[in-house]
Chain A
């Protein structure tokens, strides 16, 4: 390789690196959650290929919802409009949080976490997707973050946002095909240690998305 080519290659690499760096920086910036009166606010949406009634039907069908939530949350109906949700986060040493869910009208509900690691409230609205493509589930999540976490810039990895996207994806899958696919523990030639390392990778590839 001549010196000239080497420099050319280096130049391309540098340009690429800087270019990618810029894009990443810009994206980070763009994905800083919005702030409102001390709350972080994130909005996420997902489109479900079913009419609105079917989506509402899913939320109000106790059996299917329980099936969906099996293992990680229990729903308890308080009255016509209100449920209590008790959830356990297995990835976080089994922290428990309680939320109250209120149905505001057809296709609108909101929840507030009354007791949990992160103060949180949210709203879900359903809208018809264009071209008969089903229903848009639009969610807005508000949460607070401790001062320490903020000081370390940890809000950039805003877990509530990741969890929200993950949940929306799960709900979509459950409504559309009745299951959330899982490939953990599929056979492989890995040792237990290798499997553990792979599970960490899987975890990263499963949560969030569209960053």
Chain B
């Protein structure tokens, strides 16, 4: 079959690879119908999330059709149209039982790397390097989905592929980001990063009761789309002093909750950014934390900072003093896909969230490398390239 493979830092190519096989009772094989790019892939492609190996198949946000089931599979049949959560969860450990699926104890068969780096190993993730289990990804004609009964969900009729594909990752991540904020109604929420994840977080915050959502980015087209599709206020950080603007927009209080949906390749204008880039490229710090710092500084006293942008290692100039003395709540994590997907599919079917507009660039799998280039450089209004094998 054909698959989009990582061939070294910044290098991607479509190759002929063997087809996956059912290897365990709970496995299902899915013929991929739509597989999206995600901001996390950029961290992998660019070598900031470690442990990629030449030939690894990328992709973790996808949907498709079940073509084979292991003997232990109960909830799926051949021919079912399913969407699959990016995070692999066994369904049987304490973390899975308490719906903290991205912390599953048993789904990363190669836990040593992350145990050394982080003290414990979280769940495996499909197509997400050998630190996250070494699973083959979804930018391919077929993919093996372990624990198929836990990770795959039937798609409601009438919801198009290029919309439901985001129930795999961007929607549950955005929902969790908003869920972390503990909204009770009427809050002002600020969201850093107007990518797919940030936009889904903004919509989720509205559905969970936020009265106003303010979005921060530097790409005018992304901000305009968010304003238009989600109904947010916007700040362009390349033109405006963000902290100043947020204070003014909230009459001095600061946002009740700040969501960070940017991640470790955060960009900035000014001197501190140069310092962070130098340190990151010399690996003196692994992550560039501009937007996290800003979120902490901007947040109102006693508010919540919710981080879903991905970080891997160490940062410096982390304003712990601000967080401590303002009594902030910090929440963060990889999303618990399986916890949110069924509810999100209902909302999708009911039209409460419509993520279809994120699929700005549907492309054949063969143009995968091009799709990533458009996505990384945010060219041609690209929010997400969705590959069709």
Contacts and interface: CB of A to CB of B under 8 A. Distances in A.
Interface in B1-24: 1, 3, 5, 7, 13, 15-20, 23-24
Interface residues of A, number: 40
Contacts of A194: 53-55
Contacts of A49: 92-94, 97, 105
Nearest to B7: A189
B103 to A, nearest CB: 12
B364 to A, nearest CB: 18
B56 to A, nearest CB: 6
A186 interface: yes
Contacts of A182: 23-24, 109
A176 B93 contact: yes
Contact of A208 (B25, B112, B278): B112
Given A9-B282, A179-B25, A205 B55 contact: no
B91 A206 contact: no
Contacts of B140: 187
Interface of B: 1, 3, 5, 7, 13, 15-20, 23-26, 51, 53-57, 72, 88, 90-94, 97, 105-113, 115-116, 119-121, 124, 130-131, 133-136, 140, 144, 146-147, 278, 282, 284
Contacts of A202: 110, 130, 134
A195 B112 CA distance: 19
Given A172-B106, A173-B106, A188 B17 contact: yes
- Prevailing SS type, chain B contact patch: loop
A204 B112 contact: yes
6 contacts: A173-B105, A181-B88, A183-B134, A183-B135, A188-B55, A202-B134
A205 B92 contact: no
Contacts of B135: 183, 186
B284 A12 contact: yes
Contacts of A205: 51, 110-113, 130-131, 134
Nearest to A191: B55
A189 B92 contact: no
Given A186-B20, A187-B19, A207 B53 contact: no
Given A179-B24, A183-B135, A206-B109, 14 more contacts: A9-B278, A49-B94, A181-B146, A183-B109, A183-B110, A186-B144, A187-B1, A187-B19, A189-B3, A189-B57, A194-B53, A206-B112, A207-B112, A210-B115
